Amino acid sequence: MGKPRSSSPVSSPMGELLVQRCGFDVGTPEDAIRALVSKLVATEGNHRDPQCYFAARRIDPKVAIVDDLPCDGVIEPKGHTFTDGFMMRLRSRQSEGRLRFTTAHEVCHTFFYELVPELKFRLHITDPLEERLCNIGAEEMLMPLARVKTEAQDMPVSLDSLAQLAEHFGVSPSAMLLRLRQARLWRYELAYWHRMVDGSFVLDRKMGGVKANWKMDSSILENVWEGRGKGSVSGVTTVYFERGAISAAERVYYQAKRQGGSVVTLWGRWKLAKREKAPQLFRTKRPRTGSRQ
pLDDT tens-digit profile of 116-132? 999 999 987 888 999 99
The answer to whether residue 169 is domain-embedded is no
In a domain, 101, yes or no: yes
If pLDDT is split at 50, 70 and 90, which confidence band does 276 have?
Answer: very low
280 band by pLDDT with thresholds 50, 70 and 90: low
The CATH number given to whatever domain includes residue 30 is 1.10.10.2910
Residue 247 has a pLDDT of 87
pLDDT greater than 70 at residue 57:
yes
pLDDT at 241: 92
Task: Please write the tens of the pLDDT for every residue from 63-82.
Answer: 999 999 999 999 999 999 99
96 and 214 within one domain: no
Do 138 and 192 reside in the same domain of the chain?
A: no
pLDDT at 290: 47
Q: 196 is in which domain, residue-wise?
A: 188-282
- Position 134 in a domain: yes
Same domain, 129 and 234: no
Please determine, for residue 6, whether its predicted confidence score (pLDDT) is greater than 70.
no
* pLDDT given for residue 285 in this prediction: 47
Domain shared by 210 and 137, yes or no: no
What is the secondary structure of the chain as a DSSP string?
---------S--HHHHHHHHHSSS--SSHHHHHHHHHHHHHHHHT--SSGGGGTTTTTB-S-PEEETT-SSSEEEEESSSSGGG-EEEEEESS--HHHHHHHHHHHHHHHHHHHH-HHHHTS-----HHHHHHHHHHHHHHHS-HHHHHHHHTTS-SSHHHHHHHHHHHTS-HHHHHHHHHHTTS---EEEEEEEPTTS-EEEEEEESS--S--B--HHHHHHHHTTTTSSEEEEEEEEEEEETTEEEEEEEEEEEEEETTEEEEEEEPPPGGGTTSPPGGG-SSPPPTT---
Greatest mean pLDDT among 94-103, 225-234, 273-282: 94-103
156 occurs within a structural domain: no
* 50 belongs to a structural domain: yes
pLDDT of residue 150: 92
- pTM reported for the whole predicted model: 0.77
Q: Are residues 138 and 37 in the same domain?
A: yes
Q: For residue 162, is it within any domain?
A: no
Higher pLDDT, 55 or 9: 55
Assigned domain for 115 exists? yes
Are 38 and 132 in a shared domain?
yes
Residue 132 sits in the same domain as residue 196: no
Tell me if 252 is assigned to some domain.
yes
Sorting pLDDT into bands at 50, 70 and 90, what band is 284? very low
User: How many distinct structural domains can be found in the chain?
Assistant: 2
pLDDT at residue 158 in the model: 92
- Mean pLDDT for 158-167 is 94
State whether 128 and 192 are in the same domain. Answer: no
Q: Indicate whether 134 and 68 sit together in one domain.
A: yes
pLDDT recorded at residue 148: 94
Same domain, 208 and 100: no
192 and 274 housed in the same domain: yes
Same domain, 192 and 137: no
The mean per-residue pLDDT over the stretch 263-275 comes to: 66
